[in-house]
């Protein structure tokens, strides 16, 4: 990519910067810069989405007819990078980046008319019901049952590791509607109102102490068949399409590049074990350089995928490659951040950060004392949270199997 912006791109960059300077309050910036995971503080994220929606920028990757922006790839990159640099909160991806695209591709006119405007303005907030206690990366082994009863499907079972289940008012689920020769058959993609009787949400506690995910129990929940996305027993087709956007539909490289740059700046104020600033320590410099090179490579692949999606093509196995590269690079960065944080990073002090969910059984000090700099408090929490990156959306081992079959023919 030519990093010498055209006059039009430079003007757009200045427009984005002016907007961010005007609309990002100190609280919103803190929610973005001090977040400890891929998820920002829920209230801050929803407040930021409302501001973006008013400007028409809540879902720039959507088709224009549904409320998206007619931007070039360069403009998408500029908007993403400038938002991260300014400290904007991250929006929850389950609606805007994920199920919305499946609704556009497979939904009825009535489903599109109801869900898409609500996803944009935040009144419809989705969580994802895929994994089960006995079906994670091997998702086709799912067992949560949906039995036809007149105009309804009666759903019984549970989903686990459901992000934002406590905040969501809708959940998109894969359910088992029949047993057929192949386990990928007989699965249905279902949109369920979280306020329906028979649904119970039990929060789960992360290693970081955050309660962002939950297990969701369904006990005879009646769901109208009009809430089936696609066809009954053909939900695997919808799920495969959606996974392209979950695994590689966005642009992770700008965020990772910004994280690397920030870490380099922060290291200048840290004393290395041998004396002198950490930013001049040969071992640290070599690790950071490797991260920067990998982030640049990821950026090139992301542009290839975005160009394919923008042309209406299927990104295919590239999405699996992006998922592997993005999550493992993020883990590499957070590992280096913990090393850089040093002794200060050993102290558990979530009050110095903006976690993505409540912290289980944690009482902050009455005087608000923080050991070291705020980023040294963020580093260990982000590190623990980031360990899940290579597992969710299909483990990276599964992604390598997909690549071996689709790209290498093995």
Give one DSSP letter per residue of 73-85, joined into a string: HHHHHHHHHHHHH
**Once rounded to an integer, what is the mean pLDDT over residues 396-404?**
88
> Looking at residue 174, what is its pLDDT?
96
Q: What is the DSSP string of 38-66?
A: SS--HHHHHHHHHHHHHHT-S-TTS-GGG
Listed residue (110, 82, 184, 105) closest to 142, CA to CA: 184
Q: Token pair for residue 166?
A: 């406590």
8 A C-beta contact, residue 360 and residue 339: no
256, 329 contact by CB (below 8 A): yes
Q: At what angle do helices 26-33 and 73-86 cross, to 10 degrees?
A: 100
Q: Which residues on neighbouring strands pair with residue 214, listed in sequence order?
A: 162, 203
Residue-level pLDDT at 101: 94
Q: Would you tell me how many other CB atoms lie within 10 Å of the CB of residue 45?
A: 24
Contact 85, 207 (CB under 8 A): no
- C-alpha separations of 67 from 22, 108, 120, 258 in Å: 23, 18, 8, 28
Residues 133-155, mean pLDDT to the nearest whole number = 91
- Residue that wins the pLDDT comparison between 186 and 251: 186
pLDDT at 4 over 80: no
pLDDT of the residue at 247: 53
- Rounded Cα distance, 248 and 316, in Å: 10
CA-based radius of gyration for the chain: 22
Q: Give the residue-averaged pLDDT of 276-290.
A: 93
* Partner residues linked to 210 by β-bridges: 359
For the record, the structure tokens of 321 come out as: 């490659």
Element (H, E) at 296: helix 282-310
What phi and psi values does residue 360 have, to the nearest 5 degrees?
A: -70, 125
Contact between 28 and 88 under an 8 Å Cβ cutoff? The reply is: yes
CATH architecture assigned to 126-235: Beta Barrel (2.40)
pLDDT score for 313? 66
Closest by CA position to 253, among listed 287, 300, 304, 314: 300
Q: Tell which residue, 261, 262, 326, 259, has the closest CA to residue 297.
A: 326
> Percentage of the chain with pLDDT > 90?
68
Q: Is the CB of residue 248 less than 8 Å from the CB of residue 402?
A: no
Q: What is the DSSP string of 316-355?
A: TTHHHHHHHHHHHHHHHHHHHHHHHHGGGGGS--GGGSB-
Q: Give bridge partners of residue 128 from the DSSP assignment.
A: 172
Q: What is the mean pLDDT of residues 343-371?
A: 92
User: Whole-angstrom Cα distance, residue 241 to residue 43?
Assistant: 30
Residue 52 CB neighbours (<10 A): 21
255: pLDDT strictly greater than 90 = no
Taking the C-alpha atoms of residue 267 and residue 262, their distance in angstroms, rounded to an integer, is: 9
Ramachandran quadrant class, 312 (left: phi over 0; alpha: psi -120 to 50; beta: rest) = left
pLDDT at 395: 85
Calculate the dihedral angle through the C-alpha atoms of 394, 396, 397, 402, rounding to the nearest 10 degrees. 70
DSSP symbols for 3-31: -S--HHHHHHHHHHHHHHHHH--HHHHHH
Q: What is the pLDDT of residues 218-249, one digit of tens each?
A: 999 999 999 999 999 999 999 988 876 765 45
Task: Tell me: pLDDT of 75 over 70.
Answer: yes
Q: Where are the alpha helices (DSSP H) in 57-137?
A: 73-86, 93, 100-106, 109-121
pLDDT tens for 297-343 read 998 888 777 777 666 666 667 778 888 999 999 999 999 999 999 88
Average pLDDT, the chain: 90
Q: What is the pLDDT of residue 199?
A: 98
Q: What is the pLDDT of residues 161-182, one digit of tens each?
A: 999 999 999 999 999 999 888 8
Strand pairing report for 152-163 and 213-224: antiparallel
Q: What are the start and end residues of each CATH 1.20.140.10 domain in the chain?
A: 250-406
Intervals of CATH 2.40.110.10 along the chain: 126-235
Q: Give CATH for domain 250-406.
A: 1.20.140.10
- Residue written as token pair 């790209």: 407
Question: With 50 as the cut, is the pLDDT of residue 1 above it?
Answer: no
Global model pTM greater than 0.85: yes
pLDDT for position 30: 95
CA 185 to the chain's CA centroid: 27
How much is the pLDDT for 188? 97
Q: Residue 335 class from Cβ within 10 Å (0-12 exposed, 13-18 middle, 19+ buried)?
A: middle
Quickly state the pLDDT bin for 198 (edges 50, 70, 90).
Answer: very high
How buried is residue 397: exposed, middle or buried, by Cβ count under 10 Å (0-12/13-18/19+)?
exposed
Q: Which residue has the higher pLDDT, 272 or 305?
A: 272
């Amino acid at each position: 990519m030519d990093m010498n912006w055209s006059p039009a791109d430079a003007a757009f960059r200045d427009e984005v910067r002016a907007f961010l300077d005007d609309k990002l309050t100190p609280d919103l910036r803190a929610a973005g810069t001090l977040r400890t995971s891929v998820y920002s503080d829920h209230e801050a994220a929803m407040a930021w989405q409302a501001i973006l929606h008013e400007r028409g920028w809540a879902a720039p990757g959507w088709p224009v007819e549904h409320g998206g922006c007619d931007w070039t790839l360069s403009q998408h990159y500029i908007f993403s990078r400038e938002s991260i640099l300014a400290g904007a909160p991250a929006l929850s991806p389950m609606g805007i980046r994920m199920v919305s695209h499946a609704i556009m591709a497979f939904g009825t006119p009535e489903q599109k008319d109801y869900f898409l405007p609500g996803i944009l303005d935040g009144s419809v907030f989705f969580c994802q019901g895929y994994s089960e206690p006995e079906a994670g990366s091997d998702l086709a082994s799912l067992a949560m049952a949906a039995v036809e009863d007149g105009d309804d499907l009666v759903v019984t079972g549970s989903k686990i590791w459901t992000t934002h289940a406590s905040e969501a008012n809708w959940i998109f689920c894969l359910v088992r509607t029949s047993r057929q020769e192949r386990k990928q058959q007989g699965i249905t993609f279902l949109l369920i109102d979280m306020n329906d009787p028979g649904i119970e949400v039990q929060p789960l506690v992360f290693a970081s102490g955050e309660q962002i995910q939950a297990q969701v129990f369904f006990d005879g929940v009646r769901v109208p068949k009009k809430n089936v996305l696609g066809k009954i027993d053909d939900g695997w087709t919808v799920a495969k399409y959606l996974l392209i956007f979950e695994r590689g539909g966005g642009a992770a490289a700008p965020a990772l590049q910004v994280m690397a740059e920030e870490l380099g700046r922060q290291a200048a104020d840290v004393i290395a074990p041998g004396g002198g600033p950490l930013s001049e320590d040969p071992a640290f410099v070599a690790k950071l350089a490797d991260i920067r090179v990998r982030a640049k490579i990821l950026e090139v692949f992301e542009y290839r995928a975005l160009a394919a999606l923008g042309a209406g093509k299927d990104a295919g196995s590239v999405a699996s490659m992006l998922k592997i590269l993005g999550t493992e690079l993020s883990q590499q960065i957070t590992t280096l951040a913990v090393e850089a944080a040093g002794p200060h990073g050993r102290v558990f002090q979530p009050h110095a950060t903006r976690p993505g969910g409540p912290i289980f059984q944690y009482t902050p000090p009455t005087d608000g004392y923080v050991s070291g700099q705020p980023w040294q408090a963020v580093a260990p929490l982000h590190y623990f949270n980031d360990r899940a990156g290579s597992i969710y959306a299909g483990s990276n081992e599964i992604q390598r199997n997909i690549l071996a079959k689709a790209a290498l023919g093995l």
